[in-house]
Amino acid sequence: MTPIVDIEKIRTDFPILSDQIFGKPLIYFDNAATTQKPRCVLDKMTELYTTQNANIHRGVHHLSQLATAAHESARQTVADFIHANDAKEIIFTRGTTESINLVASCFSELCQADDEIVITQMEHHSNIVPWQMVAERKGLKLRVVPIDKKGDLRLDELEKLLNERTKMIAVTHVSNVLGTVNPIKKITALAHTQNIPVLVDGAQSVAHLPVDVQDLDVDFYVFSGHKIYGPTGIGVLYGKTAWLDKLPPYQGGGEMIENVTFEKTTFNKLPYKFEAGTPDFIGSVALATALDYISNIGLEQIAVYENELLAYATERMQAIPNMKIIGTAATKSGIISFQVGNIHHYDLGMFLDKTGVAIRTGHHCAQPLIESLGMTGTARISFALYNTKAEIDQFIEHLEHCISILN
């Protein structure tokens, strides 16, 4: 297939890709952990700090007005990117983890003892631990949806778990271990027949496939800037207006207030009710810059290209003796977790690093899933729009050399 865009041209947009690691060209296959940043994002951050740095929403002076306008324009860019109904449904956070903690903490205030929260076997710790914490505090119960041998979610078991005590379904859109793309529209349709809201962890999906929160009909959708070519420390919580209006504030302080006296405080309107403290307008605008960058390329095209990389890498890896790929769902994103015979995943990662190949090893912050598979960890490669088949070929060559030494 002809590349959808000029990949070599795209690669020149990412300065770090020209670096060398131990004298070898960098092959960056750890994109599920964090993506590299295009020059336009780096330049935008420098520009903002040098020409518009000010505290937003709180100043009448020119710089504050410029910064405020940039921040709110970024909010609209995010809303448009995921097709939210209104920009006020976009809450800026520090990342996916804080977004889920925000919802879990606030939503638990609407629950009673013995109410149930449904999560799945493939969740990242960020979509397990916050719910465990509020469950312990409020006397709630966690229910876990299992997966099948291929790594697909057991929707029949999900349906069995739902009852009048179920108050929330929290599910990942794409598994960061298995690569499985979950059928979110089916899940929300099932949940909404029983008036159960759905929170979706979009950390591994939003950079790799088009997301329309209205079409998916999700109640909450969360993701991180650093996994979509933006900076670290900025993230997004999308919530339907009706739900955000119901939830109490998450934190108290400046920005989220309407009026404060020593006797009583009234809270600000959406979205500011959930944005206590000085907003990270540098992060929000840099994130919007990253979203514009990939929008100009086209997420549909990116998805096609990354799926081609996934298929090519999978075929080449399956030809390696004693190779075991973990997660073989029919619908996958560009993630491959694997083991080779009895070679420890850490040894694979360390050896490949010396050849310039960056991969991830361990339980990938999904320890319950990994242990349920009878493992302590895996090696994992994950793709982004700037990766190439030539890099996959080099990775395979280095991997085979590694295996020959470690066996």
pTM for the structure as a whole:
0.96
Token digits of residue 391? 């890099």
pLDDT of amino acid 262: 84
Task: Return the amino acid letter for 229.
Answer: Y
Q: Which domains does the chain show, CATH number per domain?
A: 7-30+298-406 (3.90.1150.10), 42-296 (3.40.640.10)
Tens digit of each residue's pLDDT (9 = 90 or more) over 46-58: 999 999 999 898 7
pLDDT of amino acid 46: 97
The answer on pLDDT for 213 being more than 70 is: yes
pLDDT (average), residues 305-311 = 97
Tens digit of each residue's pLDDT (9 = 90 or more) over 170-212: 999 999 999 999 999 999 999 999 999 999 999 999 999 999 9
pLDDT of amino acid 194: 96
Q: Are 223 and 92 in contact (CB under 8 A)?
A: no
- The percentage of residues in the chain with a pLDDT greater than 70, rounded to a whole number, is 99
Question: Any idea which residues carry the catalytic annotation?
Answer: 365
Q: Is the peptide bond before 271 cis (omega within 30 degrees of 0)?
A: yes
Tens digit of each residue's pLDDT (9 = 90 or more) over 77-136: 999 999 999 999 999 999 999 999 999 999 999 999 999 999 999 999 999 999 999 999
Tens digit of each residue's pLDDT (9 = 90 or more) over 294-305: 999 999 999 999
Tens digit of each residue's pLDDT (9 = 90 or more) over 369-385: 999 999 999 999 999 99
The answer on pLDDT for 1 being more than 50 is: no
pLDDT (average), residues 134-158 = 97
Lateral strand order in the sheet of 323-326 = 323-326, 335-340, 378-382, 360-362
pLDDT of amino acid 261: 76
Instruction: Give the least confident one: 31-35, 253-257, 322-326.
Output: 253-257
> CB under 8 Å to 281, separation ≥6 — which residues?
48, 56, 67, 68, 70, 71, 74
Is residue 59 very low, low, confident or very high in pLDDT (cuts 50, 70, 90)? Answer: confident
| Strand 378-382 versus strand 360-362 pairing type | antiparallel
Tens digit of each residue's pLDDT (9 = 90 or more) over 319-367: 999 999 999 999 999 999 999 999 999 999 999 999 999 999 999 999 9
pLDDT (average), residues 216-235 = 98
Cα of 186 vs its chain's centroid, Å: 20
pLDDT of amino acid 3: 52
What mean pLDDT, rounded, does the chain reach?
A: 95
The answer on pLDDT for 2 being more than 70 is: no
Nearest CA-CA partner of 341 in 394, 392, 406, 401: 406
Token digits of residue 172? 């990942």
pLDDT of amino acid 144: 98
Vertex 324, ends 319 and 326: CA angle to 5°?
A: 125
pLDDT of amino acid 4: 58
